[in-house]
């Protein structure tokens, strides 16, 4: 029997694969070798955008998690980078965040993934 958790994992993997196939290289430094990660711009716990390809961007490990200038270490810098380099995606994210923020705050952790 396939569990809900397995289905969610598969959908996460398919989402990451689609981002990799679309972007091919780190969108910030254009590196194509080594560890490349599909990054959720709006965190993946938000079900509304978890598998939305417009909410994904391919980044190298440095620009994803660990660098001084990376999406996880410096959200303000990353937001500004996105605004300058992909204004359509930046605008899309802002619109989605507006919709999500209409939900009561208490729902943040309890909203379940539906598949
Ligand atoms: Zn990079």
CA of 56 to the centre of ligand 1 (A): 15
Mean pLDDT computed over every residue of the chain: 91
Does residue 59 fall inside a structural domain?
yes
Residue 15, domain extent:
4-104
Does residue 113 fall inside a structural domain?
no
If you average pLDDT over residues 80-84, what whole number do you get? Answer: 98
The domain total for the chain is 1
Does residue 86 fall inside a structural domain?
yes
Does residue 18 fall inside a structural domain?
yes
Does residue 45 fall inside a structural domain?
yes
The CA-atom distances, in angstroms, between 64 and each of 81, 87, 106, 113 are 13, 19, 28, 24
Does residue 114 fall inside a structural domain?
no
CA of 70 to the centre of ligand 1 (A): 8
CA of 19 to the centre of ligand 1 (A): 15
Does residue 57 fall inside a structural domain?
yes
CA of 101 to the centre of ligand 1 (A): 30
If you average pLDDT over residues 84-113, what whole number do you get? Answer: 80
pTM: 0.87
Asked if the model's pLDDT at residue 111 lies above 70, the reply is no
Confidence of residue 100 (pLDDT cuts 50, 70, 90): confident
Tell me what percent of the residues of the chain surpass a pLDDT of 90. 81
pLDDT tens sequence across 22-44: 999 999 999 999 999 999 999 99
């Amino acid at each position: 029997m396939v569990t809900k958790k397995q289905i969610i994992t598969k959908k996460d993997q398919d989402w990451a694969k689609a981002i990799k196939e679309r972007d091919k290289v780190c969108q910030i430094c254009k590196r194509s070798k080594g560890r490349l990660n599909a990054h959720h711009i709006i965190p993946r716990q938000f079900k509304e955008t978890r598998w939305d390809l417009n909410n994904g961007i391919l980044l190298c490990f440095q620009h994803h998690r660990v660098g001084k200038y990376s999406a996880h270490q410096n959200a303000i810098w990353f937001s500004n980078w996105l605004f300058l380099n992909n204004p359509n995606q930046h605008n899309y994210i802002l619109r989605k965040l507006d919709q999500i923020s209409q939900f009561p705050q208490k729902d943040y952790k309890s909203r379940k993934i539906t598949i």
